[in-house]
Amino acid sequence: MPPHPRPHPRVGPVKLVVEADGGSRGNPGPAGYGAVVKAPDGEILVETADALGVATNNVAEYQGLIAGLRSALALAGDGATVEVRMDSKLVIEQMAGRWKIKNEGLRPLALEAGTLARRLRVTWKWIPRERNRDADRLANEAMDAAAKGATWQSKSLPATTPRPTTSTTAPTNSRKTTSPREPSSGTAPTAPSGGGTSSTRQRPKSSTAEPLFDLTPDGAPPSKAPVEPATSAPSSSPPATGAKLGTGTGTGPGRGSGWRASSTTATSLLLLRHGETPFSVERRFSGIGDPELTATGLRQAEAAATRLSRAPYAVDVIVSSPLSRARATAEAVATRTGVEVLIEDGLRELDFGDWEGQTFTEIQRHWPTELKDWLADPSAAPPGGESFSQAADRVSTVKEKLLLDHKGKTVLVVSHVTPIKLLLRFALLAPPEVLYRIHLDVASLSAVDYFPDGPELVTSINDTAHLR
């Protein structure tokens, strides 16, 4: 159902609130979730809930989060500012990147929630259970309805025609099993996420044709950026001179060509690969696994931090992958510069699936056909893993978010080989195959300047001067 237009006075970009919850009667046991989307004044705009069959409490809470984020996107579209509030410390801390996801059963749900969150401008807030009553009520209503063989229906918003639902059976006692820490194993819900089994209620339409919210500072509707940057005609102006890496100055290329001077201020992304890990020493595939930095890796991070804390660098923002090796590298720079580290899930390394921790020789021996396909086609994924094409989608989204949130600033991006190569590839307007032809050392520094009138200028690739 499309969002219902409703006039709303604008006081800057509007912040929607998503409150989500989930519970299980037994852990695991019959489970359900609920979520609400609220206006800044607290008015409930959307309610959604569903029973999940047998699942753990943590699975149910993640499903509630996913449903709430989907409802916010359906209501306000990409780019909306959203504060997510949940009484699950586990979900909030994991989504904020402060806690590791140790339960592999939760990882797919966290990745799905992260993908949705990256389309919005999300902040994460833990709240005590007594302040999450609306979402808790909905989760219990869904479980109660399923126990009676019925479909959940909203009791506070006008009824609309629901999507097809599948009921599950659950006991009638309404008790949420609280699990502040992640259990060692999880039980997947019987209704798969995204399967269209939930029910949603929204406020009815008004007669006005105004949009529900004005979500961008200039009043323009938010739009999804393409994976590939747009090309444009070259300029005949002379080349610019005097540009420095990462200074964030306006000296740089013109539209699309890299030849004429620009009078506007660039947004500079400094791309720092994390320091050495045991996997990089042994040349093993290291994706979303979480090896720590070696002693050498810590020294490399410190060397990068020393360099970046001096002129001509003036780091305004530090954004890091959630993985430990990147975060430790970022924290070294943060200590030197006094800049807080922000975590961005989309900057994580490629998921190598079954190849995680394997050497190239081991993969060649056990997966010769799959390896051949992977080396020939960026859309081919390792068994159980992620393709370069899939990674390109999330990295492109992160890039656009960083450029939107930090215009004209110097942003240090601490990440991994694949995301950094993808950002360089986008800026170079290069085909996907270039990913196989770029080498990046551990703790190396690359940089791209982005100009408001369109062009992207690569100013450095694989710079390791600070390691010598």
Q: Any idea which residues carry the catalytic annotation?
A: 274, 349
SS3 223: coil
Q: Is 180 exposed, middle or buried (0-12, 13-18, 19+ CB in 10 A)?
A: exposed
Phi then psi for 201, rounded to 5 degrees? -125, 135
Give every CB contact of residue 251 below 8 A, 6+ residues apart in sequence.
240, 241, 242, 243, 244, 261, 262
Distance CA 357, CA 421 (A): 21
> Helices 324-337 and 295-308: crossing angle, nearest 10°?
40
Give every CB contact of residue 329 below 8 A, 6+ residues apart in sequence.
272, 274, 275, 293, 297, 300, 301, 304, 320, 414, 443
Contact in structure between 10 and 60 (CB atoms under 8 Å): no
Phi then psi for 262, rounded to 5 degrees? -115, 140
Q: Which residues pair with 83 in a beta bridge?
A: 17, 123
Radius of gyration of the chain (CA): 24
Structure tokens at 356: 């995680």
SS3 449: strand
Structure tokens at 302: 């410190």
Contact in structure between 95 and 114 (CB atoms under 8 Å): yes
SS3 335: helix
Distance CA 443, CA 352 (A): 21
Distance CA 28, CA 31 (A): 8
Q: Is 82 exposed, middle or buried (0-12, 13-18, 19+ CB in 10 A)?
A: buried
Nearest of 396, 418, 412 to residue 447 by alpha carbon: 412
Strands (E) across 263-343 are located at 267-273, 317-320, 341-343
